[in-house]
Structure 1
Amino acid sequence: MGLSRRGFLAGALGTTALAATGCAGTVAKPGDLSRLRIMAPASPGGGWDTTARLLQRVIRSAGLARNVQVFNVEGAGGTIGLGQLARESDDALLMMMGLVMVGAIETNESPVGLGDVTPVARVIGEPEIVVAPAASPYASLAEFVEAWRKDPRSLPIAGGSAGGTDQVLAGLLAQAGDVDPKQINYIAYSGGGQSLAALLGNQVAAGISGVGEYGEQVLSGDLKGWAVSGERRSAQVPDVPTLTEAGFDLVVSNWRGLMTHPDISEQALADLTEIVQQAHDTPEWRDVLAKQGWDDEFQTGPDYGRFLAAEEQRVGEILREIGLV
């Protein structure tokens, strides 16, 4: 069994790694990068799937691996795929994941956690945006939060699935604005189109989603853009301030990263990390970041392990504050 970067994360989280109990696919020899499999633990077309397929395209075009396959394992916020990964022993396997999975592990009471697999790299971050209907009486996020503090239940907020990035941001914003997180009236929608319809129909007071979901309506004036959640303003909506600029000491990135199976050898892990590093360093990947409006948050090794441990703690705390776990 290789030590891998799984050892650091497992220690940081205080968990015990699960031993691999099965094998799906042919096991690659250390150093064999002629093929690569990337699992997207969600349905086709979503954020993890899109990121995996764009990475696949860059790896192929750069000639970093001859045979690169993406496959989907759907269910339970990615925890079905996470459980499968923990049983794998294929050294040519990566799994795309992200912040949503951190919350899903908690809300689904998953028997497998991030400490049970091996971190490889964080690849991108996608900022969230807080918006309101064009007819909202509040000109800024600060004005909204002042009213929200007085009567949280009367100001419903639209977002994605329960326990996901949107609700996590709502809870963290409530904390930053001295609003009781348990009193938030958060309405979970299954898709961005449904939450957008609720906003355009003035059925909710505010909405939270990725910049890509609401950016076009903010630019057209159909929605008010109150703040983006990244460290800097988004190029897609350059006039919208960050949460920090809006008066709230808060940064949230809907990040995505890569993991591999728990018992990978040090050499095989180094090989996987190197291929992802080389893909990241290509002009093609920089083009992907620019076209998708993603932030470059590339990180590997112990730094990525520490980041994951901190995210698990932060997300777990806010989900308990909200009352979801």
Structure 2
Amino acid sequence: MTDDAQTTRLRRTLLIGAVGLTAVALAACSSSTGGGSGSGDGAPGAITTLDVIAPADPGGGWDQTARAVSAALTGDDLVDSAPVTNIGGAGGTVGLASLATETDSTTLMVTGSVMVGAVETNASENRIEDMTPIARLTEEPLVIVVPASSEFESVQDVVDAIEEDGPQVTVTGGSAGGIDHILAGQLLIEGGMDSADVPTSLNYIANSGGGEALTMLLGGTAMVGISGVGEFAESVQSGDLRALAVSSEEPAIALPDVPTLQDEGIDLAITNWRGLLAPGGISDEERQALVDVVTEMHGSSAWTEAVETNGWTDAFLTGDELQTFLEEDIARTQETLQTIGLTS
């Protein structure tokens, strides 16, 4: 064999070896990234992107929750991105209808007490029970507020005025049949009004987001407001609104000097819970992957800070306990709505 032939053969052998090593390296790289579905740390099958739906317009509690979830997920590098989409309307049931058509197992939607009531009052074809519950995250007291110049000095003043003047007293809050509306009705009953008179006496103006209710109160087109503490706290602290009472058994963290309804002699305590749903029909493995990443988020410093900043109360729940809680809350809401005349 000539020197030229030996050289050619050697080059061919080295080339084949290099191709083989490249193939091995590419296979290893593909395996370590999970074929494109892995997380930033290379964990196979981990979630890289989560789409978060806020089923309300910007500015309200659901929007705040959705953006806090997004920030905590990305801030602690649990996912690469978590864009938020607002789909407002009908107490969250428009967003619920959108989620019902979703097939992507990496979509989460904020839910809560408001949606439980809105499903009933809107006779929604899509129900929370048809979706996949992932976690209950927080609960928050509600606060009853009036403009700073209001003549009402107490919650009982509001009840007495509605009993005397009926629809002339305008009350605004979240969606019809939601937790704000339920509190308004129960407030009248516990304040002494006959439940049969509530539907004709209570002039409740529903809004898609907390920002609209605030505009109505500051603009003088509503006399009383009910919403989560987090939505009105800043305006109370600035002096634009005056808080009459909070709905929890204990004072609210964000408004520690505001009395509870029980302090005011009204035996009533209601809190607004919020959580996360995924589309119905996803697999057990997909559901568990979502539960796992949300559980990690719940333990993150970013989420802890968000809960404290917004004055929420941690109420984390998953699994069978969450399922039981949902069933009981839905049944209790159905009964309450019938009692105060919002549903038949």
Could you state the TM-score of these two structures normalised by the residue count of structure 1? 0.78
SS in 2 for 1:254: strand
Amino acid at match of 1:247: G
* Two-structure CA RMSD over aligned residues (Å): 3.0
Counterpart-to-counterpart distance in 2, 1:193 and 1:35: 29
Q: 1:112 aligns with which of 117, 121, 126?
A: 126
- Structure 2 CA distance for partners of 1:32 and 1:201, relative to 1, 3 Å: closer
What residue is the counterpart of 1:18 in the other structure? none
Could you state the TM-score of these two structures normalised by the residue count of structure 2? 0.74
- Alpha-carbon distance, 1:147 to partner: 5.3
1:259 maps to 2:277: yes
- Structure 2 CA distance for partners of 1:259 and 1:202, relative to 1, 3 Å: closer
What residue is the counterpart of 1:279 in the other structure? 297
- Structure 2 CA distance for partners of 1:198 and 1:55, relative to 1, 3 Å: closer
- Alpha-carbon distance, 1:194 to partner: 5.7
Query: Which one is further off, 135-144 or 115-124?
Result: 135-144
Q: 2:64 aligns with which of 50, 56, 78?
A: 50
SS in 2 for 1:129: strand
- Structure 2 CA distance for partners of 1:217 and 1:33, relative to 1, 3 Å: closer
What residue is the counterpart of 1:127 in the other structure? 141
Counterpart-to-counterpart distance in 2, 1:157 and 1:73: 24
- Alpha-carbon distance, 1:277 to partner: 0.9
Q: 2:185 aligns with which of 150, 168, 171?
A: 171
What residue is the counterpart of 1:215 in the other structure? 233
What residue is the counterpart of 2:103 in the other structure? 89
What residue is the counterpart of 2:48 in the other structure? 34
Gaps of 5+ in 1: 1-27
Larger radius of gyration: 2
Contact 1:121 1:259 in 2 (8 A): yes
- Structure 2 CA distance for partners of 1:172 and 1:301, relative to 1, 3 Å: farther
Counterpart-to-counterpart distance in 2, 1:62 and 1:147: 50
- Structure 2 CA distance for partners of 1:157 and 1:86, relative to 1, 3 Å: closer
What residue is the counterpart of 1:245 in the other structure? 263
What residue is the counterpart of 1:101 in the other structure? 115
What residue is the counterpart of 1:78 in the other structure? 92
Query: Which one is further off, 83-92 or 108-117?
Result: 83-92
Amino acid at match of 1:165: I
- Alpha-carbon distance, 1:148 to partner: 4.4
Q: 1:289 aligns with which of 265, 288, 307?
A: 307
Query: Which one is further off, 301-310 or 113-122?
Result: 301-310
Contact 2:60 2:209 in 1 (8 A): no
Deviations 1:107-133 (A, max 9, x none): 221111111111110112232211234
Which protein has the bigger helix share? 2
What residue is the counterpart of 2:7 in the other structure? none
Equivalenced residues, count: 298
Query: Which one is further off, 120-129 or 131-140?
Result: 131-140
Amino acid at match of 2:331: Q
- Alpha-carbon distance, 1:98 to partner: 1.9
Amino acid at match of 2:146: A
What residue is the counterpart of 1:25 in the other structure? none
Counterpart-to-counterpart distance in 2, 1:150 and 1:44: 36
Contact 2:52 2:107 in 1 (8 A): yes
